[in-house]
Amino acid sequence: MQNRRRMVASPNRSSLPQLQVLPGLRHRFRYAGTNPAALGTVVGSTIAIAYNSLLALMSAGSVTNSQVAGLFQSFRIRRVEAWCTSQTLTSGSYSTNVPATVTLEWPRQNSGAFGTKDVVITDTSLDVAHPAHIVTQPPKGSFQDVWGTSNSGYNYFTLSWPGGYYLVVDIDIEFQFDDNATGSALGQVATISVATAKTGALYYMALDCAGSSYLPPVGLPTTK
C-alpha cells in the first residue's frame, strides 16, 4: 500500500508580522503616607488623584531643580487597593482604639460623556490587627474605564482617611510611552513643578504629585 503524505503549504517567510511599535508597561506601584489633617480627625482630608499625577508617576528631570516630565502619553488603571489600621490614642491612664475609615470615590465626569453616577467604596478597621481594606477598579462604563490622557479639569479618583493615620495604597496601572520626543502635540505629557531635579534623571513621583505629594512611592527614588 502506497503511503500518502499530506501536503502542507510552507509559510511565506518573506512576510513580516504586524507590530505595535509603541512600547508600554504594566506595573503595581506602592505608595504610603500620613493624612495631613489633625490627628484624631474622624474624616480627615480628601486627597485628589489627578490625571497629571498618574501620567507623571514615572518622570524624568526636564528643567534642573524646577520641573520633571512624565514619560507616558496615556494610562489605564486596572486596580486600586488600600489599607489603613486603627490607632490607639492614650489619655491619662486610658487607651482607646480609634478605628480608621478609608474611602475611595470614582467621580463621574461633569460633562456627562461617560458614567452617570459617582461610585464610592469604603471600609472601616476593627482594631489594630484588622485594618480597613478596600479593593476596587474603575466602574464599567465610566470615563476611568478607558485609556486616559492629560485632563487637568477632572480628578481620576479621590481618597480620604483619618487625620494623622497612615495609609498604604497599591496601584495596578498600565502605561503607553509617549511617541513624540518633544512632547505630544495634544498635550498629554504631564509636567510637574519640583524643587529638586537633575535633567535626565528618572524619578518615581508621589501618587498625588500634581497636588501636595502626601503619598510618596515606597522604595523608589522620588522628588517633590
pLDDT tens readout for residues 183-217: 544 445 788 999 999 999 999 999 999 989 999 99
Would residue 107 count as lying in a domain?
yes
Per the structure, the complete domain to which residue 146 belongs is given by 24-51+78-180
Q: What percent of the chain has pLDDT over 70?
A: 80
**Cell representation of residue 48:** 485628589
Cβ-based neighbours of 17, under 8 Å, separated by 6 or more: none
Domain-located, residue 38: yes
Query: In the prediction, which pLDDT does 97 show?
Result: 80
pLDDT value at residue 185: 42
With respect to residue 7, please indicate whether it lies within any of the assigned structural domains: no
Q: Indicate whether 1 pLDDT > 60.
A: no
Residue 8, domain member (yes or no): no
pLDDT attached to residue 38: 76
Please compute the mean of the pLDDT values over residues 26-43 and round it to a whole number: 84
pLDDT at 53 over 70: yes
Task: Give me the residues paired with residue 11 across strands.
Answer: none
Q: What is the pLDDT of residues 133-184, one digit of tens each?
A: 999 999 988 888 888 887 666 789 999 999 889 999 999 999 998 776 555 4
As given in the structure block, the three cell numbers for residue 7 are 501536503
Q: Is residue 201 part of a domain?
A: no
* pLDDT higher than 90, residue 129: no
In a domain, 18, yes or no: no
User: Structural domain tally of the chain?
Assistant: 1
Greater confidence, 35 or 123?
123
For residue 19, the model assigns a pLDDT of 86
Tell me what percent of the residues of the chain surpass a pLDDT of 90. Answer: 48
In a domain, 122, yes or no: yes
Residue 186: predicted pLDDT: 42
Where residue 118 sits, what CATH number does that domain have? 2.60.120
Give rounded-to-5 percent helix, strand, coil for the chain.
Answer: 5, 40, 55
Q: Of 6-20, 52-66, 195-209, which gets the smallest average pLDDT?
A: 6-20
By the 8 A CB rule, do 81 and 23 touch?
no
For residue 108, being part of any structural domain is answered with yes
Single-letter residue type at 188: Q
For residue 49, give the nearest of 111, 138, 163 by alpha carbon. 138
Average pLDDT over residues 64-87: 92
Predicted confidence band of residue 36 (pLDDT cuts 50, 70, 90): confident
Q: What confidence score (pLDDT) does residue 172 get?
A: 98
d(C-alpha 132, C-alpha 66), whole Å: 37
